[in-house]
Amino acid sequence: MEIMTHVPGTVVELAVSGMTCDGCSSSVEKALTGLAGVRSASVDHASGRAVVLLSADASAEDFAFEADAAIHDAGYTLEGAQARAERAPRSGGGACGCGGEAEAPEPVVVDEAGCCGGGSSGCC
């Protein structure tokens, strides 16, 4: 049996304008997940926000340039990007009892208290 360890990557939050429906979100998500180094992407048209998890070896700066072009080609506008290091999942229980691990399809970032910020399970 092979034991897999989680290697933290970079989380990039994007502000995207022009999205008005779920189809728009899907188009932007498809454009982002097609880029090199993207482990996952979650896009919400209502907030105009996309959250992308990059692999550990991907450059956030290079990704931002590629994302700008990909989002533009999909018919939308990248208004801004902010990157931060992903925190490694905690094992054995965060403050909310979720264990601080990603249970939702989107990236989950755990804070110092072990809280995942809510996620789909509604904890914290």
Give the residue-averaged pLDDT of 1-13: 70
Cα–Cα distances (Å) from 9 to 60, 73, 89, 103, in that order, read 10, 26, 11, 17
* Residue with tokens 């188009």, as numbered in its chain: 27
Specify which of 19-28, 83-92, 109-118 reaches the highest per-range mean pLDDT: 19-28
Amino acid 119: pLDDT: 47
Q: Is the pTM of this model over 0.85?
A: no
* pLDDT of res. 89: 57
CA distance 68 to 28: 11
